[in-house]
């Protein structure tokens, strides 16, 4: 942004301010070293992480914390694998103790085939977490009614899917995403479903505050190059949104003057 002589633009969630509008996951990589390289190339300041039992049979296996370091990235612990509010609270209390902060990502899934969020349980879980002092960024369906309910229940950010987790299908429902953006007073992030850079740009052009992705980078043939592509796509999309696109017209409008023709 500096080369455009613009002040760096920031966004805030739960009182924390960030410059990068890309949040990246840390799953599905070949190894933690590639994961760390991709995270760096993406310019992300926040990475999502999961909480799991330590491996007691091999305590010397590589650890995420040694590669994707907490002095470089803000960890956003998730509740992947939780199906109830109580499980989510239990998992994130452990995460808070392991990481020492309360900014978390809530995801309560239902059907294993679609990994679609269980919104009724998600809303109930959110209320439990807010009561427990967490700042909760909520993975949700692209339903404007539930988005409003989540915000009313104290969500720190609303994170509707573009398409099912890991599907790479791109933005399936730009209309509802835009409605959610227009009505929310908290940050809105597209979380899940982005497959390539143009789709990340599209999410930002819809007015989203940021994009969260994992598989689009991790499962690219060259994850590090894709991470970089996503970084620029998010920046480009944000700039295009702020610049305001030209109106769509049915007919042509010449770019060269008609007057003075020889």
Partner 1 sequence: MAWVSAKNGAKMVKILLNGEEREVTASNLMALIGDLGLDGRKVAVEKNLEIVPRSTYPATQINDGDRLEIVHFVGGG
Q: Which region, judged by CB under 8 A, interacts with partner 1, from 6-14, 21-29, 198-206, 221-229?
A: 21-29
Active site residue 105: yes
* Residues 209/242, Cβ–Cβ less than 8 Å: no
Nearer to partner 1, 1 or 98 (CB): 98
Exactly one of 28, 105, 127, 221 is catalytic; name it. 105
H or E stretch covering 16: strand 16-18
Smallest gap, in angstroms, from Cβ of residue 13 to partner 1?
Answer: 18
Tokens 């799991």 appear where?
52
Closest C-alpha to 85, from 117, 56, 57 = 117
- Ramachandran region, residue 213 (left: φ > 0; alpha: ψ -120 to 50; beta: rest): beta
Q: Which of 17, 60, 255, 256 binds partner 1 (CB under 8 A)?
A: 60
Nearer to partner 1, 85 or 144 (CB): 85
Rule CB under 8 A: say whether 43 interacts with partner 1. no
Closest C-alpha to 50, from 87, 13, 15, 11 = 87
* Residues 63/250, Cβ–Cβ less than 8 Å: no
Rule CB under 8 A: say whether 35 interacts with partner 1. yes
* Residue 130, helix vs strand vs coil: helix
Rule CB under 8 A: say whether 52 interacts with partner 1. yes
Q: Which of 42, 78, 102, 125 binds partner 1 (CB under 8 A)?
A: 78
Tokens 């539930």 appear where?
146
Size of the residue set binding partner 1 (CB under 8 A): 38
Smallest gap, in angstroms, from Cβ of residue 53 to partner 1?
Answer: 4
Structure-derived torsion over alpha carbons of residues 11, 76, 49, 79, reported in degrees to the nearest 10: -120
Catalytic residues: 105
The footprint of partner 1 (CB under 8 A) covers 25-29, 32, 35, 48-54, 56, 59-60, 63-65, 68, 75, 77-78, 80, 90, 93-99, 165-166, 192, 214-215
């Amino acid at each position: 942004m500096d080369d455009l002589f613009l002040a760096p633009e920031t966004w805030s969630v739960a009182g924390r301010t960030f410059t990068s509008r890309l949040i990246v996951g840390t799953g599905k990589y070949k190894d933690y070293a590639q994961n760390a390289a991709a995270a760096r190339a993406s310019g992300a300041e926040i990475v999502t992480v999961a909480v799991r039992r330590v491996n007691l049979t091999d305590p010397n296996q590589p650890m995420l914390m040694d590669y994707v370091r907490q002095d470089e990235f803000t960890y956003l612990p998730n509740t992947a694998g939780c199906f109830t509010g109580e499980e989510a609270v239990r998992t994130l209390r452990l995460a808070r103790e392991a990481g020492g902060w309360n900014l978390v990502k809530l995801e309560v899934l239902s059907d294993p085939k679609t990994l679609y969020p269980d919104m009724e349980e998600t809303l109930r879980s959110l209320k439990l977490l807010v009561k427990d002092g967490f700042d909760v960024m909520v993975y949700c369906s692209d339903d404007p009614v539930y988005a409003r309910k989540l915000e009313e229940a104290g969500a720190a950010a609303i994170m509707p899917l573009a398409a099912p987790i890991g599907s790479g299908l791109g933005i399936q429902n730009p209309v509802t995403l835009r409605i959610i953006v227009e009505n929310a007073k908290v940050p809105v992030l597209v979380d899940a479903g982005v497959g390539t850079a143009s789709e990340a740009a599209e999410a930002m052009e819809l007015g989203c505050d940021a994009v969260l992705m994992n598989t689009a980078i991790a499962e690219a043939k060259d994850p590090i190059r894709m991470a970089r592509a996503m970084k620029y796509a998010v920046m480009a999309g944000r700039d295009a949104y702020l610049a305001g696109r030209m109106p769509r017209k049915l007919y042509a409008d010449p770019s060269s003057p008609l007057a003075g023709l020889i």
